[in-house]
Structure formats: structure tokens, C-alpha cells
Structure 1
């Protein structure tokens, strides 16, 4: 799988409201000549402004689809049915999930951690206080002489920050116990049980979070990693944090599964959807199958239709009239081939429920790539769904790269220049494969050698 990161940079000085963010997002994707109808999903954190911005973008998408479905003469009539910029209930319900919201799979476990233990916990406060104090000049000599390490200070934006601090204390327990003998204010005698229990309970989740920070983790891969972490924590039945942590992880996972993209990813994964699987009810399966069919229809329309809605409608209208004319002239039906293809597509889609279960380490991407010849429609949908990012770690890496590029010595770089630099920097592996094929390096090198000689 190859991902290309398009980078759009806009300096923002205004208040980041939902309307403002959605407007800027549309501005950025338009600069790359991308239509909102080409976007399958948006992965973001759980910030209220971002969630509301996605809702605004859905409204824009719905309006574009309204243009496609009705000609310009009907638009005004349909717009009269809109109440406060929302479309009729029937149309809204049909289109609202076509722009899928995916909540960051790395940010969500952090919220689950804070559901159980947050910064207001007495033990966390004590450990944070000791971690801060240890950096003062009073203890510097002791740390240097005994080769101690300062426990990391955590922040709200750092995933697993509290765990890293707690783990550091546990790894250096002997060091801090000796430190307390000389400096009583650093004593943690009443906190060691908390430290041991916390480190044990939250370690599986912390390691899972680290695994999910790979360049790309599909939604189904994330789901499997998450449920394995839950199982490991559940097995710690004597740990005081186990039950509450399992409960919040299970609840938040159920909420994430409400996403249309998430459901399709699980359904198209043979490690989860197989003969005898109880992951989905019969009603859920039917719902997901409809999602898959709708996604394939979107893919097909984008492949064969212009992006402008009015032109798209006129062409569709002309094709329909021409088909009707030929059918009336020579007979037959224009739908035979389409119906046959659609019937075969549905058979293959339903047949996924009776296939064998694949092992945990099965490569689902290769599985669908190899099926392009036999399952072209399903393969096309699977490639879109499996490419859906389960987290926004790449965005965080882009911010880090931006900090290296936009240094004090380069503070006057324009937005366009910054975007171009980051585009190359973040897609280095892609450019390394593309550039050697752009022209004949060998011939140019030979000519250069001749000129030098």
C-alpha cells in the first residue's frame, strides 16, 4: 500500500470555529483539485470543533449530491424543502454517512485511560510533584552520582504520558527508595502499590498504542489490537484497575464501531467476518452490505462522471434518453448487463460470510489486491476502506516536520513554499521510487562523462 500525503498549510489567526475550519478544509482540498465527493472519510481527534467541522463538510457533500440527482430547474424547488440549511430528512439520512467520521484510534485510548485515572488522582498528583521536584538543583548531585534518570513529565497532548512517568518510577524503585532516605519529602512509600498496579494494568494498552503509531494501521488491524489488549487486561482479575479499564475500553470501542467505514472494514476482513462469526447480527450485515454497494456506486460514478454536478446531470440525462431510444428501436433491455454484474457483486458480497477464517497475522491488503480479477467491485471498495487511516499520527509527524522546516532562520517562508517542502519531505519514499524513472539517468550520466573528458 502506498500513501501520498497532500499538505495544505494555512496560517490561522481567527477563532477556530466549526464553520471556519470547514471553510479552510474546503479551500485546501480545492487547491489540490479534489472534490469533496472524492473524500471517503475524515480522521480527527475528539475535539468538539473538529467534530462539528466534519458535520459542516457533510452538509456541503449533501448539497453536491443534491445537484447531481436533480437538474438545475428542480434545485430551487428542492431547496425550498431545506430547513435552516439542512436537507429533507429522507435525503439527509441517505447521504449523511457518505463522508465518514473516524475518531483517532490513538487519541481514544488516551481518553479511556483518563476515564479510569486522570490528573486529579491523588497518587498521580504526588508522582507528578516528585517528578517535577527531582529536576531542582537540590537533587542534581544525587542523580548524577547514582546515575538516576528524571521521570518524564507528562502533558495533555502526550499519549500515555502518565504511564511513562509511572513506569519510570517503578523501573527505578530502588533508586527512589534510597533517595527518600536522604530526602524525606521525596518518599513514595504510600504510592508503590498504586505504581505497581497501574503499570501492570495499563502496560498492554500503552504497548498497543505504540503499535498503532505505525505509518498506516487499518481500522480492522486497530480493532484486533484493541480487543487483544482488552483480553490481556481482563485476565488481570486481581488488579484493582482491571474491571473499570475493561469497561471503558469496551464502551469506547462500541462507539467507534458505529462508523460506517469501521463496519465495512470489519466486514471485509476475513479474520473477523467468516463462516459462523457472531461479530454482526443479520440486520447489521444487511446494513453493511448496503454501505458497500453504495460505496461501489460512488467509485463507479467518480470513474465515469465529470466533477461538475450540472454537467454530470446533463450527461446522465442524455445517456438515459439515448439508451431508451435504442431500446425502443431495436428492443431488448439496457439493464441486462448491469443487472447481471450487480447480481454477481451481491453474491460475492454475501459469500464473504461463509468463507474460512484467516489467521491473526493474515495480510488483508494482499488478499484483496490478489482478488482484483475475480472480485473487481469488492476489491475496489476494500482498497478504499482498508486505506482509511485509523489515527492521525501522520498529522502529528507533519507538525513535527513543520517545526524543523519553519525555523527561526526561515521564518519568512510562504505558505506555498512550506507546503511544497513538506510534500517532498513527507513523501520521501514515494519520490525515491518515482524520480529515477522520470528520465534516463544512465544516458545522461554517459553524456556528462563524455563532456568532462
Structure 2
């Protein structure tokens, strides 16, 4: 590696020297080809077969030009010093090796000569100190540069946040990641792994999230959604963030009222009967004191005109915009697992006893002695049966699926063990359970993909229901698992559509928008989209341009042709016709004040009676419609950036568990966060390393 770097350095000097020479001729000699160059400064002919001859000529004859234009004094050692530090940081982060590997004798021998040369050249580098201060210092500096780069990326953008909590070896941490769409592609960034030092209350978690975002210069008003699990403290965290948002809005209003209250709302006549009626409806749910106060105001309006005008203005602002600023999104995979768990727990005694039998047999097969019997005496292939663990997703399905592959083993033990004989008699029950539970399992795997959208998740939910309905209509059914699971899915489907973000994402997706046909849901979508558009206009910089060039990504998730046909048939049976994408030229969305509700009505009227094929991409659809609905196009890009699951944070915790283990439990939380920041933002790490090398070159030259 060192020889290769030196050769590259010589090539760099040679290319600079050759700018002052002109190729004259190439002669063939006994020793090979001889290349003759002529110096453009003195016309002297030089044998350029060896590049060092050109460099020597410039150094001896044209020394001034050599020193100022050709020589790269010190660059070799400066770059080597930087590269050695970068490689050490990469070793302990990207390669996930412990710091002690740098101190091992084999590695120290490899770098000994290089370190000695660097120290002799004035680039002191200590890689033998057990604390490795130089490596850790460079690691921290690189992590800070990544933070600065992320801050620049998210400036003025509407983003979605994912959070979760994990504990390892008495260290409890809060993982925070963000997601948004840039140039038609999803961008996912890890921004924090924060040590939790207090009880995991909603106020404490919300304050940590807010502080972390502020460190990246992200305001609370830029947050579109917060994806969490279904824990009570996480739901309360979303409410707390909305309170913080409202407090910041109130502070801004107290300083710049006119900026938040449109001019046409500053003066409202008291004789406006519509608002009087609506105010009375609000008062109907108020306490007696408030009701008496407002009744007096309305009856004696001349005396309290200003106060009543303000009251009416506040009322209109309150009830014509969405009060939910940060939309809480429950992790889709977690929600699905809760539905499966509820369905399994609701089985009758026969179903629960059968699952207990499967667990007992699986435990027996995992015993070492059993493996010896299976492999030695029975001469059968051994299959490990994964245990059914309550806290592990899909563990019941995986256990049953493994057992299904052990039919030969079960048949062998059925001759002597009653439990195995009983299971063999109920083999059709096992097969049915595996077939039914495979439906939510495959959906869970698909949902963990990094670029899944809320509407993709909704489509997957519909597909699961369609498949389960087919199971319930089969003539021979051995269990009630299909009907139980279908019931729990339908119950949670209603809960899903109570979420404003989900409603907006589905209603803007022509594949599934026909599912939103309730007037109240459409009204909520209009309010949410209007609020989001107002915030979008305030936060997006005027000069920023969006070029969505990669919108031809089709639906991900492993849906086969059969699944796609099921979904398309489902909507076709409703009397809807398929839409055809017709791309049109792009133009930017207008930043003027517009009625998003009217635009949504126009869009829904245009797509009424039709649907987009379920294997088509909603991103590609909006690329084609960008010219017709530029504002809705921008909103769809924001909504499609909302992650339906916490899969990104779960992957973050997998890295956390790998780095912070029984052998590496002395890492400080700050160093651990810096390491994970580099690992999860590897693309930025490579860019920063390249820029640092270029800076060293340009700084010395």
C-alpha cells in the first residue's frame, strides 16, 4: 500500500512536469522504446523514458518554476498521516473492530515504519498510547463534520423523526433517526444515540428529542411526524412535542401577530350569524362561567366589539386549521405484531393447548441429546427449531414453520413418545397455522424495508385482509386463527385511519384513495394538508429546487404477481377503472396563499371512479401530475417521506448491541454516539474523508 501511494505521488509530480515538455519522437532500441521530449522553455531534448529525467531537468535548469509549479513539498507525509488516521477510524467504526486491535503487536508492526517516517517529517502521531488520543480526536472531529453536513441537508426541510429506547449492560439510550425525500429518493440519517439518565417520562424524552433537533438547527415546526412504538410514554411524548410547538407559536404570535393572522381575519363584524352560531355550539360544551361571559359579550356587542372580534378571530383560527402539528405514527410492524398476538391469545382452549404442545416438542428437539439421536440413531437431517419468545417478533410463526420441516423427525419419535404421536395426528392443524401466520409474517418483513411509505403499508394491510378472507371461506378449516386474525386487523384498520398523516397519505395515493369516502375523514385531510402547506411555505427556502429524477421506483416489498392481482381485482370489483400515467413537464409549486381544500376536491374529482394499478409507484404518479397539481405534489413528497416503522432505529440498536457488549462496555456514551453516527452515515464519512484529503493537497500547494 505504501509503495502504491508513493507511485501515485510520483505520477502527480510527473504530470505537472510534463506540462513543460513536448513529445518529439519515440525510437526503438535494444533495451526497448526510447521516448524523446523537448523542453518548451529551453528546447533541450530529454530522454523521457524514465519520468524522473523530466523532473530532474526542471529541478536543475528551471528551479524557480520547479519550486512554485511542480514540487509538492511535504504533501506525501501530510496525506499519509491523514490517511493513517482515517484508516484507523474506519477500522473501529465501519469495520466495527475494537480499539485494542490497533494496539495489537501485528498491527503495530505493520505501521511502525510509516509512523517513524511521519514523526521524522514533523507529523507526530502516537498510535501506541493505550488511550489512542489521536484516533479518538480524529473520530470526534469527523463525527462533528457529519453533524454539520446533516444540518446543511435538513435546513428548511420538512422531516419525519423515528425514535425508540433500548438498554444494554445497564446503559439505556434513546435512538433518533430522521427521514425525508430529496431528489425523489428517501434519505435516512441517524442523528443521535443519547444516554438516558432519568426516568423515561414523556416530558424527559420530548425534551431530549427537541434538544437533539436543535443541535442540528432543526425547529420543532419542521417535524411532520414522530414514528414510535405503541408504548404509553411514546404517545405522551408526541403530545408533549405538540405542546412545545404551540408554545413556540404563541411566542412568535406575541412578537409578530400580523404574520400569523391574515389581514382578512383582523376585522369580523359581530352580525356574522354563522360565527355566532358556531360560537354558541362551542359554548355548549364550555363551563358556566365562560358561557355567561360570552353571552354578555354578544348581547352587549357595541360595548365589547374589540374583545368579541378577537374571540371570533381566535375561534376561526382554532377551528379552521389542524391542531395536530407533529403527527404521531405508531410503528406498523409493532402494530401488526400486536394484532397477531391478540389473535393468538383469543384462540379457544384447543388452539392454545396445541401451541403449548408445539412449544414443548420444539424444546425437546433443541436438546443436545435429541440431536445425537436424530443424527446418530435415526440418521436424519437435524433442524433447529427456533424458540417461541414473547418479546421476539413472529417467533410463534417461526417456531411452527421450523416444526413443519421436521415431519420425518416427528414421525420417528411418534413411535415412542405420545406428544409426538399427538402432533402427527394434528399435522393439518400445524400446516394451517403456518399458512395463515405466514401472511402477517411476510408483511412484517416487507414493512422493514427502508423506503416503504404510509400508503404502501395501508395497501399491505388490505392485501392481508383479502388473503385471510380467502382462508375463512375454505370448506375445511381446522382452526379459527384466520377469522380471529381478520377480526383484529379490521379493528386496527379503523385506528389506522384515525391518524391524520395516514389519511392524507392514503387520500393522495390513487391506488387506495377510494378507501377514504367518509366526509369527516376528507375534512380532516383538508385541515391537515392546509396546515402542512402553510408550514412548508414558511420553512422551505425560496432558492431551493426539487428535482425528482428517481420517481420510477415501483412498489417495493416483494409482492408477487398473485398479490398484485389480488389487490387490483379488489379495486376493480368496486367498479373502478385503471388509471394510466401520462408524464408532463415539471414546474415548481406556487408559494402564494392558496386553498388546499379546493385543490384536493379537484384532484379527487379527477380521479373519481378510477384507481392506479397497485404495482405502480405513487412517486411516479405524482411526477406525472406535478404540472397539474404542483402544491399537492410537494405535499405528497413530504407525506411519502413519513416512515411507517421504526426499522431504521432497530437497525441502529443492532449496531449499538454489537459495539457495546460484554467485552467492550467501557466506551463512553459520547464516543459510542460518534462511532454510530459514522457507521450509519457511511456515505457522508467517505465524502468528508475525500474532502479532507483535497484540503491537505490544496493547503500545501
Q: Does 1:262 align with 2:502?
A: yes
Cα distance, 1:267 vs. partner?
1.1
Tell me if structure 2 keeps the 8 A contact 1:153–1:161: yes
Q: Deviations over 1:70-104 (max 9, x none)?
A: 3399xxxxxxxxx9xxxx99988755421101111
Taking a change above 3 Å as real, the CA distance of residues 2 and 343 of structure 1, as seen in their structure-2 partners, is closer
Tell me if structure 2 keeps the 8 A contact 1:143–1:149: no
2:114 maps to what in 1? Answer: none
Cα distance, 1:219 vs. partner?
0.4
1:229 maps to what in 2? Answer: 464
Q: Does 1:143 align with 2:374?
A: yes
Cα distance, 1:150 vs. partner?
1.9
1:179 maps to what in 2? Answer: 413
Q: Which of structures 1 and 2 has the larger relative contact order (alpha carbons within 8 angstroms, sep 6+)? A: 1
What is the SS of the residue equivalent to 1:10? strand
1:98 maps to what in 2? Answer: 325
1:351 maps to what in 2? Answer: 602
What is the SS of the residue equivalent to 2:414? helix
Cα distance, 1:281 vs. partner?
2.4
What is the SS of the residue equivalent to 1:254? helix
1:276-425 superposed matches below 5 A? 277=514, 279-303=516-540, 341-343=592-594, 347-353=598-604, 354-355=606-607, 356-369=610-623, 371-372=625-626, 374-425=628-679
What is the SS of the residue equivalent to 2:516? coil
> Which is greater in Rg?
2
> C-alpha separation between the residues in 2 aligned to 1:27 and 1:174?
58
Taking a change above 3 Å as real, the CA distance of residues 437 and 361 of structure 1, as seen in their structure-2 partners, is farther
- From 418, 438, 447, the equivalent of 1:203 is 438
Range moving further from structure 2, 243-252 or 186-195: 186-195
For structure 2, list consecutive stretches of 5 or more residues without a partner in the other structure: 1-184, 258-286, 288-313, 543-588
Cα distance, 1:299 vs. partner?
0.8
1:220 maps to what in 2? Answer: 455
1:322 maps to what in 2? Answer: none
Query: More helix per residue: 1 or 2?
Result: 1
Q: Deviations over 1:36-66 (max 9, x none)?
A: 2111101111111211222222221221122
- From 68, 91, 116, the equivalent of 2:343 is 116
> C-alpha separation between the residues in 2 aligned to 1:415 and 1:31?
17
1:70 maps to what in 2? Answer: 254
Cα distance, 1:344 vs. partner?
7.3
Tell me if structure 2 keeps the 8 A contact 1:151–1:168: yes
Q: Deviations over 1:146-188 (max 9, x none)?
A: 2221211132332211011111111222321212324445442
- Cα RMSD for the two superposed structures: 3.4
Query: More strand per residue: 1 or 2?
Result: 2
Q: Does 1:169 align with 2:403?
A: yes
Cα distance, 1:136 vs. partner?
2.1
> C-alpha separation between the residues in 2 aligned to 1:407 and 1:416?
16
Cα distance, 1:259 vs. partner?
0.6
Range moving further from structure 2, 234-243 or 256-265: 234-243
Taking a change above 3 Å as real, the CA distance of residues 90 and 346 of structure 1, as seen in their structure-2 partners, is closer
1:325 maps to what in 2? Answer: none
Cα distance, 1:440 vs. partner?
9.1
Taking a change above 3 Å as real, the CA distance of residues 369 and 421 of structure 1, as seen in their structure-2 partners, is farther
Q: Does 1:19 align with 2:203?
A: yes
Q: How many aligned positions are there?
A: 399
For structure 1, list consecutive stretches of 5 or more residues without a partner in the other structure: 74-82, 306-337
Provide TM-score, normalisation by structure 1.
0.78
Q: Deviations over 1:5-57 (max 9, x none)?
A: 23312222433222222232223223322222111101111111211222222
